[in-house]
A and B are shown apart, each in its own frame.
Chain A
Amino acid sequence: MTNDADVLQIDNLQTSFFIDGSEIKAVDGVSLNIPKGKTVGIVGESGSGKSITSMSVMRLIRNPGRIKGGSIHFNGEDLLQKTEKNMQNIRGNKISMIFQEPMTSLNPVYTVGQQISEVLQIHQNLSKKEALSKSVEMLELVGIPSPNDRVKQYPHELSGGMRQRVMIAIALACNPELLIADEPTTALDVTIQAQILELMNGLRKELGMSVILITHDLGVVAETCDYVAVMYAGQIVEYADVHTLFNNPKHPYTVGLMQSLPRHDMDQEELNVIEGNVPKPGEMPEGCRFAPRCPFASDICTRELPDLMETEDGNQVRCWVYSEKWDGDPEVNVKDDYKTARSQ
């Protein structure tokens, strides 16, 4: 899977938290490649490890968490081997991040201009004046009206959508090659969400960067992503291009997620849900982690953890159904039979 067109190559990443002497595997063997100029979505429930994966890429995991193993190659260099000093040069410069909460992600005591300037001063050694005029340009780029006035305002004087635009301006100020957006639209209302996504997409094309979009919103994924990784309990369970994922999902969890979306084009008595909960990190099942909630689970699923296997169309899925070792119904079609299997 390794090739030069990938900006970022995450290989077998393992990040654990060590609490009271026990190890909690938040990210357990995630491998993921981010192609140049593309958007890769990471989807999953809360606690599936998607944010921890992105924080690991930034090397921002704090005690008691630790990156235990694997490698993260950025333009061919392993980020996990870099010193903290080197990482500081990369953060905000080559790899940037947008956080979920625009309301609290800006420092309340500095003006918007000062905060955009700061990243320019850290990485590009600009003078205060140059940095400020670049800040105005950045505000203009992210579509904030009258940037000359806005640059002097404090975060509390801006709306949520405006603040998220400012966050984007800060993240893009140094022209990063990779942007990690951790649920950038979750805290915004729907109309603003669309604007922000559109803005991000436009800027990605304009600046030629790659984006990792972390979200639990499949609608956002469908609109913006080229590839999607579905995470469950610290592992990737399915990786596919966005069309295949939506037209032909393979993993029972992905299918479950799709079917639990409310449909506007159908009369629905009730919403479909995936029964049960994500297993607690300390109580991972022995076999497939989704097996306890999976309507297709057979013997092998409860005994052995499946690998992430390649499918005929070049995508990946972590499910015994697609393996030679599958010991359940050989005729099963996860997508079509999900509903009937679930009701049994």
Chain B
Amino acid sequence: MLAESTVQESMTKPSNPHIENAKNIFKRLKKNKAAMVGGFLILLFILTAFIGPFLVPYGAGEQNLVNKLQGPSAEHWFGTDHLGRDIFSRIIHGMSITLYIGFFSVFIAAIFGVVIGIVSGYYGGKIDTLLMRLMDVLLAFPGILLALGVVTILRPNLNNVILAVAVFSVPAFARIVRGSTLAVKELEYIDAVRALGAGDVRIIFRHILPNVFSPIIVQATLRIATAILTAAGLSFLGLGAQPPTPEWGAMLSDGRNYIFDAGHVALFPGLAIVVVVLAFNIFGDGLRDALDPKMKS
């Protein structure tokens, strides 16, 4: 995740106080060709996840042992695996699982991370120290190791993978939101609404949250890529989705045994992961540049 380190630092700066209307943001986004390609791919993936399974010729678990380990052909675009299942169809079926993991784990992480970050930044003092040290503890573990631990404790299955990935994404959100909150809470309009009799809850959710939203969106987009990658990694290690689920990491793991005789079994799920992760990354980068043009160096 090349972009991550730069985002972490730059996102703590206050978001542009003059929220520009969506039109301007989209205009800048449109100028960024790579981001547009990324965005288009993501839309395509989402569409595929919904209607793809109805269009492909084979079911996810449909075996044909006679045709096992065949290379790509007109009949089987990406070839077949060791049980004669059509790899293309399985990848399309797996799309929804991949996106489900990506979106859902990031969604959970964002909710916890944002609440922790805002509370930390807004109240400061002991609460801040406590929460942030807790986040530091989580950050001290390499992501995949932390996820491994969580999954091992909770039993390996798809939902626990989501939880595991969410856990290690929380600190990223918490830190960024805390930084932005520290900047926003000093702004005069926060004093102004407090002087109007607004309580903490109203100030936090109605006035600070919308003003720290753009870094959250950017971080979420980039985090989805990380989440997908980690989840695939866990499945590859046998700790995520269990066979015969057409999860890409698991498929990659299946293909590992035949990598020298039938490389395509591992190649295509691997490629699928790369393309999806890449799409989210370049779109996230483009979104960041579009949301805060001043940050672009």
Interface residues on B, range: 20 to 34
Cα distance, A91 to B194, chains bound together (Å)? 8
Question: Known contacts A107-B207, A108-B17, A108-B19; is A99 also within 8 Å of B198 by CB?
Answer: no
Report which of B17, B19, B191, B199 forms a contact with A60, defined as CB distance below 8 A: B191
Q: Is the CB of A109 within 8 A of B196?
A: no
CB under 8 Å from chain A, chain B span 157-187: 187
Whether, in the assembled complex, A255 has its beta carbon less than 8 Å from a beta carbon of chain B, the answer is: no
Whether, in the assembled complex, B195 has its beta carbon less than 8 Å from a beta carbon of chain A, the answer is: yes
Q: Is the CB of B198 within 8 A of A88?
A: yes
Q: Is the CB of A99 within 8 A of B211?
A: no
Whether, in the assembled complex, B75 has its beta carbon less than 8 Å from a beta carbon of chain A, the answer is: no
Q: Is the CB of A170 within 8 A of B18?
A: no
Report which of A91, A104, A109 forms a contact with B197, defined as CB distance below 8 A: A91
Q: Is the CB of B196 within 8 A of A96?
A: yes
Cα distance, A85 to B187, chains bound together (Å)? 23
Q: Is the CB of B189 within 8 A of A106?
A: yes
Chain B contacts for A58, CB-based, 8 A: 195
Whether, in the assembled complex, B193 has its beta carbon less than 8 Å from a beta carbon of chain A, the answer is: yes
Q: Is the CB of A119 within 8 A of B197?
A: yes
Q: Is the CB of A92 within 8 A of B196?
A: yes
Cα distance, A90 to B199, chains bound together (Å)? 12
Chain A contacts for B206, CB-based, 8 A: 118
Contact with B along A12-56 (1 / 0, CB 8 A): 000000000000000000000000000000000000000000000
Q: Is the CB of A109 within 8 A of B211?
A: yes
Interface residues on A, range: 20 to 34
Decide if the interface of chain B is mainly helix, strand, loop or mixed. helix
Chain B contacts for A88, CB-based, 8 A: 197-199
In the complex, how many residue pairs between chain A and chain B have their CB atoms under 8 Å apart? 74
Whether, in the assembled complex, A248 has its beta carbon less than 8 Å from a beta carbon of chain B, the answer is: no
Cα distance, A119 to B210, chains bound together (Å)? 18
Whether, in the assembled complex, A125 has its beta carbon less than 8 Å from a beta carbon of chain B, the answer is: no
Cα distance, A229 to B18, chains bound together (Å)? 37
Whether, in the assembled complex, B192 has its beta carbon less than 8 Å from a beta carbon of chain A, the answer is: yes
Question: Known contacts A107-B211, A108-B18; is A93 also within 8 Å of B189 by CB?
Answer: no
CB under 8 Å from chain B, chain A span 90-148: 90-93, 96-97, 99-101, 104-110, 118-119, 122-123
Chain B residue with the shortest CB-CB distance to A167: B192
Chain A contacts for B211, CB-based, 8 A: 107-109
9 closest A-B pairs (Cβ-Cβ)?
A: A92-B196, A92-B197, A91-B197, A97-B195, A104-B188, A109-B210, A105-B192, A88-B197, A107-B189
Instruction: Sample 21 A-B pairs with CB under 8 A, ordered by A number.
Output: A60-B195, A90-B197, A91-B194, A91-B196, A91-B197, A92-B195, A92-B196, A93-B197, A99-B191, A101-B188, A104-B17, A105-B191, A105-B192, A106-B189, A107-B207, A108-B18, A122-B198, A122-B202, A123-B197, A156-B18, A156-B19
Excluding A118-B196, A119-B196, 15 further A-B contacts by CB distance (< 8 Å) are A58-B195, A88-B197, A91-B194, A92-B198, A93-B197, A104-B17, A104-B187, A104-B189, A108-B17, A108-B19, A108-B211, A110-B210, A118-B193, A167-B192, A170-B196
